[in-house]
Structure 1
Amino acid sequence: MTHLLLAIIYLAFISLGLPDGLLGSAWPTMYTEFHVPVSYAGIISIIISLGTIVSSLQSDRLTKKLGTGKVTAISVAMTAAALLGFSFSSSFWMLCLWSIPYGLGAGSVDAALNNYVALHYESHHMSWLHCMWGVGATVGPYIMGFALSGGRTWNFGYLCVGILQILLTAVLIFSLPLWKKRGSRSFSEKEEGTIDREKEAEIQESALSLAQIIKIPGAKEVMLCFFCYCAIEQTAGLWASSYLHLFKGIPAETAARFAGMFFIGITAGRAVSGFITMKLNDVQMIRLGQVIIFAGILVMLLPGPNVTALAGLILIGLGCAPVYPCIIHSTPEHFGADRSQAIIGVQMASAYVGTCLMPPLFGLIANHISITLFPVYMMALLVLMAVMHELLTKKTAH
């Protein structure tokens, strides 16, 4: 039964990634149909991100009340409804309206699933599960591209993914009894942290408030660590192509292709990381990833042929691969199994804040100063992330 549930969780992670690339791939067609500026995609993205932040912060309360299985099923159902709503939308305001349940559903399921896997499964599963997210994020645009190239509209692409999400919702509903079974991971008393048992019982019954979470030693550090990581990942994904084209003079189509290699590097890197985690622990994996990101940024800064910058970008992608899943997986060991859902909720919220704020900030820097600062910007974020991770490790050492 444990293996069946794990297979369902793998499927759920693929479904998490499926919608993520749809808006970007369909927007060139959508904005002309709705007669809005191309920049309006940012409005939809912000609404979705705000929804994910709100639901991530509420994930601890919802999971304690309903359980991971029900939260996952309800969240995927909300996402499916939102995607179907997108497919039937005929105006921009309707897209904005359906973006609300889309964001609320995505944030809850992300936090709940990540915490469940962190508690019950080994680190290699976390890496491979996030690899599956990459598979979903890659397949989604292909579904949209197939719809558009086959003479269909963007609505049909959203409809296809919405139907897939409905099927997954049905699978999750039928799998609800399995979620009461624990996975293979176990915690010693030392790993769970030393907390007063009476207080532990009280915490299990009532969700932690944001103020209580922030007071936990290491919470602010892990929030900043996650903020910086997601800022690096999203800034690289958004601005790498422009940097390669505008500064390095690489043809636009080649730059776009190698910018895509960054995400392929993350996906492939997570597949490989799953095997490496069998030898290295989470802290060592995060440090290894940071070193590889550092090497990639240095390579991008080196003068030389264009292939140097391209190689640096791929290295950054490979370095990013273990960081996200290993930070999440190490949360129960840093903070205790009883508080991991609350911490992972604020981690997810911090991630979305970093995703919302930092790539647009670099856009302002590129516009008003120079796009050549792209590697320097990522280096500053990397240094802050590394410092926060070391402080986190020190403050939560048992």
Structure 2
Amino acid sequence: MATMFLIVIYLAFISLGLPDSLLGAAWPVMRPDLGAPLESAGLLAMIVAAGTIVSSLLSGKLIAKLGTGPLTLLSCLMTAAALLGFSFAPSLLWFALLAIPLGLGAGAVDSALNHYVATHYEAHHMSWLHCFWGVGATGSPLLMSYFIKEHDSWRAGYTAVAIIQFALVIVLLVTLPLWKKVSAERTALAVEREAAKTASAGPDFVRKAEAPPAERALRLPGVKMTLLAFLFYCGVETMVGLWGASFLVGSRGISPVTAAGWISLYYGGITVGRLITGFITMRVGNRTLILAGQLISALGACLLLLPLPDFVMLTGFVLIGLGFAPVYPGFIHETPARFGRANSAKLIGYQMAVAYTGTTFLPPLFGVLASRASIGLFPIVTLIFVVMMLLCSEQVIRALKRAVV
């Protein structure tokens, strides 16, 4: 039963990944049809991300009221309906309106499932969880590329992805009773473990396990730099997916169909990297993997800067994706270990909110920069964001070491 439950969670993360890469892959073709300026994609991404911020901040209350299973089902249903609406939307205004339920549908379930896996499962499950996000994020640009090439229709691409999303809704509906049953079992097991720890550790353990107020949790060493690292990571991950195809078309003269396929390989790098990372975490710690991933993604960004053949640029996108693979799940899974299990629920909620803040503002800001200057600045800005993320991450480790001393 526990295995079945994990499969359902993984499927839910596919539903989170499906919409994330569609807009960037289709935008070079959508923009002329809608008569929209280049930076409008950033505005739509900002609306989606704003919805995820709101719902992630409310995730604790929503889970308490609805439960994780019903909330996941509702989230997937909202995103499926929004994607289907995109396939019929006649103007940019309709896209902006439909972006609201798309964002709201993603945020709460993201926070809830991340916290559950970080608290109750090993690091490899966290990597594989986000690997399934990558399955959705990789598959949807491939579908979009197919429908643009074979049917000359980005709308059909959105329809196809919406159908897949509705199929996942059916799976979640059928397995809905399983959520409560497994939740009760996991809760009972957690209570037994905590009771055993309390008995062996004495009264001091109970005092340390009590969660401090929110403002005290934010003052823990390393927390603020962790939040900044989340901001830069999610900002640059979304920026590459959103503007990568436009960079290839506008700056390197690559066809929209080929560009969409290349962006799918970027998400493919994230997906395959997280699958492999899940096995590596059994031998190597999260901190080492996070640092290695950041350095690999910086190398990939550097390759995009150089006037080299097209296949080298393709390698750059794949390397960026592979480098990103261990960073986000590693950050989340380290939260209970770095800041205490009692603080992890609050802090993961804050991390989700700050992460979505990064996706809300950084990609649109680049869109404005690209429209005012040049889309050719894409590799430079990507490298800057990766380096900022790396510096923040290293500052967290230094702060934790000073706190121990």
Report the TM-score range of the alignment, normalised by the length of the smaller protein: 0.7 to 0.9
Paired AA for residue 84 in structure 1: A
Cα separation, partners in 2 of 1:195 and 1:107, compared to 1, 3 Å:
farther
**Aligned with 1:354 (options 351, 358, 375):** 358
* 1:83 aligned onto 2:80: yes
Q: 1:170 aligns with which of 141, 158, 173?
A: 173
Structure 1: gaps of 5 or more residues: none
Cα distance per residue 1:187-222 (max 9 Å; x no partner): 998xxxx9973474465xxxx54x454323222111
Pairs within 5 Å for 1:1-398: 1-21=1-21, 37=36, 43-63=43-63, 65-66=64-65, 70-81=67-78, 83-84=80-81, 87=84, 96-140=96-140, 156-157=159-160, 160-175=163-178, 176-182=180-186, 197-198=206-207, 200-201=209-210, 209=214, 211-248=215-252, 250=254, 253-397=257-401
Look up the equivalent residue of 1:76 and give its one-letter code: L
After TM superposition, the score normalised by the length of structure 2 is 0.80
TM-aligned CA deviation for residue 266 of structure 1: 1.3
Specify whether residues 321 and 200 from structure 1 end up closer, same or farther in structure 2 by C-alpha distance, changes over 3 A only.
same
In the alignment, residue 236 of structure 2 is paired with which amino acid?
I
Q: Distance in 2 between matches of 1:383 and 1:147?
A: 36
* Contact 2:14 2:134 (C-alpha < 8 Å) held by counterparts: yes
Secondary structure, counterpart of 2:377 in structure 1? helix
> What amino acid is the match of 1:276?
I
Task: Give the number of equivalent residue pairs.
Answer: 387
* Conservation of the 8 A alpha-carbon contact between 1:296 and 1:311: yes
C-alpha offsets along residues 311-354 of structure 1, whole Å, 9 cap, x if unaligned?
A: 22221121111111111111111111121121111211222111
The CA distance in 2 between the partners of 1:25 and 1:249, in whole Å, is 15
* 1:81 positional shift: 3.9
Q: Deviations over 1:274-297 (max 9, x none)?
A: 222121111011011012112223
CA contact (8 A) 2:62 2:71 kept: no
Contact 1:118 1:329 in 2 (8 A): yes
Query: Per the alignment, do residues 30 and 388 of structure 1 end up closer, same or farther by CA in structure 2, a change over 3 Å counting?
Result: closer
Equivalent-residue separation in structure 1 for 2:120 and 2:251 (angstroms):
46
> Cα deviation per residue 1:99-126 (whole Å; 9 max; x = unaligned)?
4343223101101111111111121221
State percent identity of aligned pairs: 39
Shift of 1:225: 0.5
TM-score (norm 1): 0.81
Specify every segment of 5 or more residues in structure 2 that has no aligned partner in the other structure, as ranges: 198-202
- Quote the offset at 1:28 in angstroms: 8.5
**In 2, are the aligned partners of 1:21 and 1:138 still within 8 Å (CA)?**
yes
Residue 202 to residue 225, structure 1, CA distance change in 2 (3 Å)? closer
1:334-382 per-residue CA deviation (whole Å, 9 max, x = no partner) reads: 1111211211112112221111221222233334444443333222222
CA distance in 1, matches of 2:318, 2:331: 21
Deviation at 1:172, TM superposition (A): 4.6
Q: CA RMSD in A?
A: 3.8
Q: For 2:273 and 2:346, how far apart are their aligned partners in 1?
A: 28
SS of residue paired to 2:183: helix
Q: Contact between 2:249 and 2:255, CA under 8 Å: does it hold in 1?
A: yes
Structure 2 counterpart SS, 1:272: helix
Name the aligned partner's letter for residue 232 of structure 1.
V
Q: Using the TM superposition, name which of 47-56 and 149-158 deviates more.
A: 149-158
What's the offset of the Cα at 1:143? 6.2
State the SS of the aligned residue for 1:181: helix
- Once the two structures are overlaid, the 10-residue window that deviates more, 153-162 or 226-235, is 153-162
The range that moved more, 153-162 or 363-372, is 153-162
How far apart, CA to CA, are the structure 1 residues paired with 2:165 and 2:322? 31
Report the Cα distance in structure 2 between the residues aligned to 1:172 and 1:354, rounded to whole angstroms. Answer: 34
User: How far does residue 66 in structure 1 lie from its aligned partner after superposition?
Assistant: 4.8
Superposed CA deviations along residues 129-161 of structure 1, whole A, max 9, x for unmatched, are 211111122334566788897899678546524
Per mean C-alpha deviation after superposition, the further-off stretch among 326-335 and 90-99 is 90-99
Contact 2:83–2:159 (8 Å) recurs in 1 = no
Q: Aligned pair in 2 of structure 1 residues 257, 81: CA closer, same or farther (>3 Å)?
A: closer
> For residue 281 of structure 1, what is the amino acid of its counterpart?
G
Amino acid at match of 1:197: V
